[in-house]
Amino acid sequence: MARRKFWGWGKVGEGFTDEEMKPFEADYAAVFGVDGFEVRPFPTVDEIELAPSRLTPPASLAPVCTDDKWERLVHTFGRSFHEQVRIMDRDFAGAPDLVACPRDEGEVVALLDWCAEVSAAAIPFGGGSSVVGGVHPDVGGSFRGAVSIDMGAMDRVLEIDRVSRAARIQAGVYGPHLEDQLRPHGLTLRYYPQSFEYSTLGGWLATRGGGHYATMLTHIDDMTESVRAVTPAGVHDSFRLPGSGAGPSPDRLFLGSEGALGIITEAWMRLQDRPGFRIGHAVEFTRFMDGVEAVRAISQAGLYPANLRLLDHNEVRWSGAGDGTAAVLVLGFESADHALDAWVARALECCRDHGGRLPEEPSAAGDSKDGGAAARWRNAFIKGGHMREMLTARAIIRETFETAITWERFEAFHRDVAGAAARALEEATGQPGIVACRFTHVYPDGPAPYFTFIGLGEQGRLGAQYDAVKNAVSDAIIDAGGTITHHHAVGRDHMPWYARQRSEIFAAALKGAKAALDPVGIMNPGVLIPAP
Amino acid sequence: MARRKFWGWGKVGEGFTDEEMKPFEADYAAVFGVDGFEVRPFPTVDEIELAPSRLTPPASLAPVCTDDKWERLVHTFGRSFHEQVRIMDRDFAGAPDLVACPRDEGEVVALLDWCAEVSAAAIPFGGGSSVVGGVHPDVGGSFRGAVSIDMGAMDRVLEIDRVSRAARIQAGVYGPHLEDQLRPHGLTLRYYPQSFEYSTLGGWLATRGGGHYATMLTHIDDMTESVRAVTPAGVHDSFRLPGSGAGPSPDRLFLGSEGALGIITEAWMRLQDRPGFRIGHAVEFTRFMDGVEAVRAISQAGLYPANLRLLDHNEVRWSGAGDGTAAVLVLGFESADHALDAWVARALECCRDHGGRLPEEPSAAGDSKDGGAAARWRNAFIKGGHMREMLTARAIIRETFETAITWERFEAFHRDVAGAAARALEEATGQPGIVACRFTHVYPDGPAPYFTFIGLGEQGRLGAQYDAVKNAVSDAIIDAGGTITHHHAVGRDHMPWYARQRSEIFAAALKGAKAALDPVGIMNPGVLIPAP
């Protein structure tokens, strides 16, 4: 079995080869006016210096704890650009002292008890796909060490309720293994974040993740019947219910808690029948803002398409979906129950009302594996996780950030945020970069815009260059009233802007709740609640 | 202007006359085998003894505070059966010392500051329609008095965003006045609880209310973009966003907080275009459980009907919708955007698959004002608020309770809960009563069943008789894993069962949050968090 890479996405042997990178390199070289790219090699284990582990587990926990160097390296970083730069710099300061893989809830309880006893920070680790520093055990000097608690061994579907379409699922399960367990029952969670292969149910819940679909059941929050979690103060469980009005929702406190209150161990999740009806189109718009109006019309019509992904010209060009001469709306409907002709007909009317053109024949769901803009976009999306490490090695800055805003503010918001990104990119790198935008999720009252920025960086300055852009766009987002994160969570990286977004009163409430559940303050310190 | 009744629903002069009660009396008399009913008169102001107010407001707050006896009486009780019995018993112990009507947020802040200073309990009051003791200022001896804070003067729509379809609305607005302010803009909150006339936005939010519609946007939670609230520790506000993943949702902490954390002063709410397309049917089922299966099929098909209200035989009979020889499903679709033929056709297929019969021509939305079972049901529903005081005066126990449960448990749950209600009714009243069930809300993973129980009580024992039934059904609900409330909140009445439903860990978290926001513990003491 291949091990997880500690320098990039997925397992050793997965991803792009240098040979496969050649066409991408040619593309970037042409845009940036360079001949090619120096490729920095990925680190090897031996190149990295790691301080010895400061923690020795008690005998009872020794079987599930390791200080194996490779494992400590794998659990040092998530997948943010910033962290990738540190990986390339061989800077693994902040590595966990131990990696623990509990096999059941009792072991999670024992681990937290022990961490509290010895003043060790406990860092929950799902798939390690955090792009916001959520799993990085850099917890400061007030702890005697840090334990990365990898939930991967708790990966089973424990119970399936076919009638209500729900399942009780352990939090450590990765996306593909989860779907493998549901498929024989004709059911699916139908939750496909880009990180699907290397992220877990517990991570999705703890970060309030968003899936691939544009409308309706796409925030993991809305798929949750109940959450079970281990906190240092004890085990929380909630009644499994389709709906309730009994006080503030306990589930909604743990959803988005990012490991700061405890570790989610399992959840009852709402499932769906596997869709058999699919229909989709890729609709072109000359002007991006016309596409925006079409998307708003569809989102306010009560049609709830599975896909409603508007790509601006740059996004079309740089995701490989087309040549970039038009904006493209990937529109798709799915159902397990009924044909969707009436739905798609009305959605296409909304597109035509706003100047949309249909260059292609309908395809299954607008993003099937057969040709077309939608399929090309999908293929690039799926391989996206592997691209980061390859571009960083070439000093090409390519990163994304996402937010949400109401419709009436979108045009100015888009101008301000994209403008801030473009200016910061040019200032940081000395030449113009590329800023692209797409909608990942759409609500009746506004879109979740997802921005990509691309610039030519410089080895040695890459972290500072990236930070300059990230800081500028984060300021622009908060200044304009957007959320600092729509589905990537707060982590350590977004804390300064989260502190501007959430009220002082809510911060006090959350701190009060944390003090009750985690009195010693061992749970993922520095995330959501500033470390004392 | 007529004043609010302190003995019943709505304003003086509204409701049924004794003459209008005659056909209902005849109906109940026949069922219970009695000749008629002694009618106890409603209390008059002079009959009620009230202790003098223990509180004197500071000069700055004197203009918005009153100790007028009528106002104190109006603000003593909500509308639970239990409270109605105390009203008839002229027992207004626990009346507030003062009633305050703040005109702006600054006055709310000043009121809470003053309450904290003098150790007075602050009881938020919206429309006073609580059926769970949520507004009753019976706060125990550790307070120097109690102030009922009536938000009715803060009743304006402050801002409308037509593009995103949202509005910033003051929390004290009553349903009809809210819709009056939205109508000129072609918009609606489309939230119609049975209490619509005499309940407020702030009350809906604080209690996680549920509206009239069966699926999709019907929990007030899901219509909320952001909440603004005054707590004793300061003013909370959240960014107005269509979606966010930044930490646990602040809004979801205040939704359902029932005044225990602070007073909601305003909110940005998602609105909808006013629907122009409506189509509906009343479908009959010989067997209730066949109707249940049809409803499950529709709810899992992704069709999202506006109405999906299944009435069992007794509910049909006792709501006046029909003769009770069949269960009836009131099925309706609405849209502001498109014709709904495809939607309704598929839903009717689901009904026919499970033995549903269509005795009537389609009517607008299944509950228009023209004839038919749906219309008869609607008319009885709208007048329902006024019936309670008339029946209590006649010692007829008629009360409802609601819950939610997943589909696979529903049949046994229904049997257990309805059985417990029937047994307790017979035991408490000495003769069989009537237990009816309908679905008010339906989710893909389960229904929200709403039960009605009717029994012949006895003056002087009415409160104890009611309590016996309510305790029995509440035990049965929690024993079977249902929620103690789906959309009527916890209040003071549900606390023993809420304590069984929510985990100790969540209770500790909520208590920690309350300690941070309400350090002196003045906010609606005894609700959600046991008084110390």
Annotate B287-299 with DSSP letters as a single string: SHHHHHHHHHHHH
Which residues lie closer than 8 Å to B328 by C-beta, 6 or more apart? Answer: B282, B283, B284, B285, B291, B310, B311, B316, B321, B322, B373, B377
Shortest CA distance from A506: residue in chain B: B250
Kindly report, residue by residue over B111-137, the tens digit of the pLDDT: 999 999 999 999 999 999 999 999 999
Q: What is the pLDDT of residue B140?
A: 84
Q: Which of A237, A256, A445 sits opposite B242 (nearest CB)?
A: A445
DSSP assignment string, A114-174: HHHHHTEEEEEESSS--SSSSS-----TTSSEEEEEEGGG---EEEEETTTTEEEEETT-B
Candidates A208, A227, A506: best to mutate against B (most CBs of B within 10 A) is A506
Alpha helices in B366-461 (DSSP H): 373-393, 407-429
- Name the phi and psi angles at A282, rounded to 5: -110, 115
Please choose, from the candidates B194, B156, B198, the residue with its C-alpha nearest in 3D space to the C-alpha of residue B174: B198
Cβ contacts of residue A371 below 8 Å, gap of 6+?
none
One-letter amino acid of B172: G
Question: Among partner residues A238, A303, A486, which is closest to B244 by beta-carbon distance?
Answer: A486
pLDDT tens digits for B327-373? 999 999 999 999 999 999 999 999 999 999 987 555 554 444 445 77
Interface mutation vs chain B, best among A241, A333, A348, most B CBs within 10 Å: A241
Of the candidates A307, A227, A303, A214, the one whose C-alpha atom is nearest the C-alpha of residue A270 is: A227
Are B195 and B10 within 8 A, CB to CB?
A: no
Scan for tokens 């112990």, then name that residue: B93
Nearest CB to A490; choose among B247, B509, B515:
B247
Paired tokens of A128? 């390690």
**Closest Cβ opposite residue A246 in set B243, B409, B484:** B484
Average pLDDT over residues B481-487: 98
On the CB side of A304, CA atoms within 13 Å amount to 12
Helix ranges restricted to H, A320-430:
341-353, 373-393, 407-429
Q: Calculate Rg over the CA atoms of chain A.
A: 23
Q: Is residue B88 within 8 Å of residue B40, measured between CB atoms?
A: yes
Rg (CA), chain B: 23
CB pairs under 8 A between A and B: 309
Judge contact between B331 and B308, C-beta under 8 A.
Answer: yes
Q: Tell me the per-residue pLDDT of B400-414, one tens digit each, with 9 for 90 and over.
A: 999 999 999 999 999
Q: Please, which residues bridge with residue B200 across strands?
A: B174
Query: Distance (Å) from the C-alpha of residue A474 to the closest C-alpha of chain B?
Result: 13
For helices A341-353 and B341-353, give the axis angle rounded to 10 degrees: 170
Task: Report the pLDDT value the prediction gives residue A365, as an integer from 0 to 100.
Answer: 46
Residues of chain A neighbouring B167 (CB-CB closer than 8 A):
none
Q: Which of A116, A121, A123, A124 is nearest to A145 (CA)?
A: A121
**Which residues in chain B have their CB less than 8 angstroms from residue A244's CB?**
208, 404, 483, 485-486
3-class DSSP state of A228: strand
**Chain B positions in Cβ-Cβ contact with residue A186 (cut-off 8 Å):** none
Q: Are B107 and B230 in contact (CB under 8 A)?
A: no
Q: What is the pLDDT along chain A (532 residues), one digit of tens a residue?
A: 789 999 999 999 999 999 999 999 999 999 999 999 999 999 999 999 999 999 999 999 999 999 999 999 999 999 999 999 999 999 999 999 999 999 999 999 999 999 999 999 999 999 999 999 999 998 988 999 999 999 999 999 999 999 999 999 999 999 999 999 999 999 999 999 999 999 999 999 999 999 999 999 899 999 999 999 999 999 999 999 999 999 999 999 999 999 999 999 999 999 999 999 999 999 999 999 999 999 999 999 999 999 999 999 999 998 888 899 999 999 999 999 999 999 999 999 999 999 999 875 555 544 444 457 777 666 777 778 899 999 999 999 999 999 999 999 999 999 999 999 999 999 999 999 999 999 999 999 999 999 999 999 999 999 999 999 999 999 999 999 999 999 999 999 999 999 999 999 999 999 999 999 999 999 999 999 987 7
A506/B445 CB distance under 8 A:
no
Q: Chain B: residue nearest A443 by CA?
A: B242
DSSP state of A52: P
**Residue B407 phi, psi (nearest 5):** -60, -45
| E-state strands within B56-136 | 65-66, 98-100, 120-125
- pTM for the whole structure: 0.96
Site of tokens 């961490």: A115
- pLDDT category at B531 given cuts 50, 70, 90 is confident
- Tell me how far apart the alpha carbons of residues A394 and A36 are, in angstroms, rounded to a whole number: 9
Note the pLDDT of residue A377: 66
